[in-house]
A and B are shown apart, each in its own frame.
Chain A
Amino acid sequence: MGRYLLRRLAACLLLVWLVLTGTFFLLHLAPGGPGGALEDPRIPSEQRLRWRELWGLDEPLAAQYARFLGAALRGEWGHSFQHHRPVAAVVAGALPATLLLAGAALGVEWTAGLLLGVAAARRPGSLFDELLRFLSLLLYSLPTFWLGLMAVLLFSFRWPLFPPSHLASVGAEALPPLARLADLGAHLVLPALAIGLPSAAALARFVRGSLVETLGQEFVLAARARGLSGRRVLWGHALRASLAPLSQLFGLSLAFLLSGTLAVEVVFAWPGIGRVTFDALAARDYPVVLATTALSATMVVLGSLVADLLLAWADPRVRRA
């Protein structure tokens, strides 16, 4: 297991390095630069040169890359061109909002996915099962940003049930702690549903398939023969046995959720990493784009690693392979 872990960790590091290298060169080689004041001809050229020096843009690309890589290894991400702040502070300021949203979306995905999957598996081929299959396919095929927009249109404007954007209401800081928490919860509902529901639809299909297969196995028949109630057989035996292959999905969900919040954060004006990345891309704020890319890549890679480890733990054949 130790060697397997080391091998996988080395592969993860290699992957993150490749992603960062690719992003670095794509950013710098794409037409157009950071723009703004750097290309403003009203500003004397000596002044613009000073900024280029300050931001390290005056060096050859290879030297910039070497310096970036060295600094990244030391955990230094430089200064944001756009915010004039250390990149670490920009990212750290946005990370909690993204983690909160991703956590809530994960909750939606697994709660709804498991419940719907179990419900469908209990009566395979029923009208409910067919309906769920259709809805799962529909939800899974819808882009999250469109789903977000529709959710705002329907549940914020048509029927004003939930706030359409932001993390908190105007003046929420003056509310008592419990009311603030409720206010935060209300703001979380639509974005968490927009991210979580399509994943829940996919998960429900997995749960349903896995559970239907398990329910047909002999140990389930034996449990029934021993006189256990249908509910106990389903929740206590069949579902537990079906969860092992699903554990890998959990790791992959982590990765997808963090990378999938970008569009939804923009739609819901959610102040997270997705928004920071979107704005940094528009402004060609290289240090911020690279830092958020590194963060996303690391999360995706770690999520996959967790998934693989869970699978390896559950299935010794994987370790041997």
Chain B
Amino acid sequence: MSRALRLALLCAGALAALAALGCTRERPPAASSGGTLVVATLVDLQGVNELLSSDNRFTGEILELLFPRLLVELPDFESGPPSFAPGLAESWERSEDGREILFRLRPGLVWSDGEPLTAADVRFTFEAQTSPEVAWSYAHAKEGIESVEVLDDRTVRFRFREPYATQLLDANEGGILPRHVWGERPFASWREDADWFRDHLVVSGPFLLAAWRPAQEVVLARNPRYWEPGRPRLDRVVFRVVPDQGAQLAQLLGGGLDFVLGVPPARAAEIAANPGLQLFPFWNRQYDYIVWNTRRPLFADTAVRRALTLAIDRQELVDALWFGYARPALSPLLSSSWAFHRGLEPWPYDPAAARRLLDAAGWVERDGGRVKDGERFAFDLLTNAGNRVRVDAAVMIQAQLARVGIEVRLRPIDLNTLNEKALAHDFDAMLSGWGIDTSMDLRFAFHSEEAEGGYNFGGYANPEVDRLIEEVQRQRDLAAAKPLLDRLQEILHEEQPYTLLWEPQRLAAGRAALRDAQPNALATFFRLEEWWLAPPP
């Protein structure tokens, strides 16, 4: 046998041995007391200090498991305004004049190092959240809060500048931070080194951060000092960074993962048919839209915008791109929400009506296109090149609008550039999407004051819309604002500053052995302390 052949055989033998180890060691056996759950994530944890790194949804969700809030917002926004369950606070009470909320903490709360969690931590958290040196992205949520006072170890009072509908949401924004440890570092140096917080990590949630290997995995382990007896049920949760959805699904199918979020709709049927897996579809708090730049003459006319909506077959987009896991959108307040105006009549797909409206607006058909004052009806449609569904939708919309004589030039560009152009109103039309909270505040996208440097990309301005938006937020009880919200939706429906496209569902998939998982639009890992894995039969 030649030396080369012997060496080659030796290499092959070594590979075979590694292969044998590689398949046997990929997963440890499930623990009997709840086990280890292995979850896929597309992105890595951005840090352990929410105030420095809350611009990423995955990070936000992990940090909520480490640093719980005063209250737990419940995923019942379909039936009414935001409602809450006790979190670190066991009770809360609003004053008669609506300017104060008193929170009473649970007795015996402790941090993971054994130190008591007190009202002083709540006040410290507020100070950090509002510190200009810390510069928290969501500091604006605290603008309505005048002060936070410690009344005793377990009682804290939030005082507001004036009563308004979403006071509780604002007070509850952000997890409670450990004053006795993080208070040692001056706010001015918080942004200098995020590693410091990782090295000085004490938590109060159901899980501890057992390990964080950047770009590899985040390992959470049961916090033995968590206040709720018998929780969490899982011993460990390992979040593996797998930056590709296809690879995530393949690993789920191969048994390397227990839970995956973001199943492409085209693969949902395959998951649902697999007896070893379960599919978790839930309505997301998101809608996609085309915003028309109303500052450009082409889209300044309401009749033209309405014609564009009539010429776009939204049902066809939903059927072709979402495989039944979305529905056409009708209002910027989601159709699953309590605030949705159920009397709105959807604009149908009606190219003939669109043609009539365009004719009446002076856009006459000529040479296969439409012309007015010598100018062709043609525009650029921008979208995020990294979002496959949106790019595909843009292609379909291009074909649909061509049928009524409108020329669409597709411009898929990277997300950062898209945002820059949107903020500068440097576009004709843009296909994008909004993820929204439960405050029913439409100011960010439709108030005229938000057109300069804000998210009102299309520069839409309507004094009545401005007034209604302000009126809604002034209500002390959001439910009482329903007639105002209805009127707001009617105007936006009539004027079509946006052509609303679809409301998608979010699809998660898990092993059949996964029990009590309740991913929802508020949190994918909602009440993760309740999840557990049934042992194999």
Q: Which residues of A contact B (CB under 8 A)?
A: 30-37, 39-47, 50-51, 54, 79, 82-86, 89, 93-94, 111-112, 115, 118-119, 152-153, 155-157, 160-175, 179, 182-183, 185-187, 189, 231, 235, 266-267, 269, 271, 275-276, 279, 284
Contact = CB atoms under 8 A, between A and B. Distances in A.
24 contacts: A31-B413, A32-B416, A34-B416, A50-B132, A83-B46, A83-B47, A84-B53, A84-B194, A93-B214, A161-B23, A162-B18, A164-B250, A172-B25, A175-B25, A179-B25, A182-B17, A183-B22, A185-B18, A185-B21, A186-B21, A189-B15, A266-B243, A271-B213, A284-B416
A41 B137 contact: no
A104 to B, nearest CB: 11
Given A115-B8, A118-B4, A162 B415 contact: no
Given A41-B450, A182-B21, 8 more contacts: A41-B444, A84-B47, A157-B250, A161-B22, A162-B23, A165-B240, A170-B38, A269-B216
Given A32-B419, A165-B247, A166-B216, A269 B195 contact: no
9 cross-chain pairs, A with B, having the tightest CB-CB distances, nearest first: A186-B22, A32-B416, A32-B417, A271-B215, A84-B194, A171-B28, A161-B19, A35-B416, A31-B417
A8 B55 CA distance: 46
Contacts of A276: 215
Interface in B122-175: 132, 135, 137-140
A103 to B, nearest CB: 16
Interface in B409-445: 413-421, 423, 444
A167 B21 contact: no
Chain B residues touching A, range: 35 or more
Contact of B241 (A119, A152, A269): A269
Given A47-B139, A231-B3, A275-B215, A186 B250 contact: no
B193 interface: yes
B151 to A, nearest CB: 30
A235 B2 CA distance: 11
B453 interface: yes
A54 B188 CA distance: 11
Nearest to A45: B453
B52 interface: yes
Nearest to B15: A189
Given A32-B420, A164-B256, A111 B11 contact: yes
A21 to B, nearest CB: 22
A171 B243 contact: no
B132 A269 contact: no
B135 A50 contact: yes
A171 B24 CA distance: 12
Contacts of B138: 42
B132 A163 contact: no
Contacts of A266: 243-244
Contact of A189 (B18, B27, B453, B454): B18
A249 B53 CA distance: 45
Contacts of A235: 3
B300 to A, nearest CB: 23
B331 interface: no
A170 B37 CA distance: 10
B36 interface: yes
Nearest to B454: A41
B456 to A, nearest CB: 9
Contacts of A155: 19
Given A41-B454, A164-B247, A169 B26 contact: yes
A160 B254 CA distance: 8
In this complex, the member of B3, B213, B215, B420 whose beta carbon has the largest number of chain A beta carbons within 10 angstroms is: B215
B137 A43 contact: yes
A30 B417 CA distance: 9
Given A43-B140, A83-B46, A271-B214, A163 B22 contact: yes
Given A43-B140, A51-B135, A94-B215, A82 B46 contact: yes
Nearest to B246: A149
Interface in B196-227: 211, 213-217
A23 to B, nearest CB: 17
Contact of A84 (B3, B191, B243): B191
A275 B242 CA distance: 11
A266 B243 CA distance: 7
Nearest to A36: B55
A198 to B, nearest CB: 17
B278 interface: no
A54 B190 CA distance: 12
B238 interface: yes
Interface string B392-415: 000000000000000000000111
Contacts of B4: 115, 118-119
Contacts of B211: 173
Contacts of B135: 43, 47, 50-51
B46 A85 contact: no
Contacts of A284: 416
B137 A37 contact: yes
Contact of B420 (A31, A51, A93): A31
B215 A269 contact: yes
B193 A84 contact: yes
Interface in B1-58: 2-5, 7-8, 11, 15, 17-19, 21-23, 25-28, 36, 38, 44, 46-47, 52-53, 55
Contacts of A173: 211
Contacts of B284: none
Contacts of A170: 26-28, 36, 38, 217, 238, 240
B338 interface: no
Contacts of B44: 279
A166 B25 contact: no
A41 B453 contact: yes
Contacts of A231: 2-3
Contacts of B242: 165, 269
Contact of A33 (B8, B28, B420): B420
Given A162-B18, A269-B242, A85 B137 contact: no
A152 B215 contact: no
A169 to B, nearest CB: 5
Contacts of A94: 214-215
In this complex, the member of A36, A85, A153, A173 whose beta carbon has the largest number of chain B beta carbons within 10 angstroms is: A85
B455 interface: yes
In this complex, the member of A111, A162, A284 whose beta carbon has the largest number of chain B beta carbons within 10 angstroms is: A162
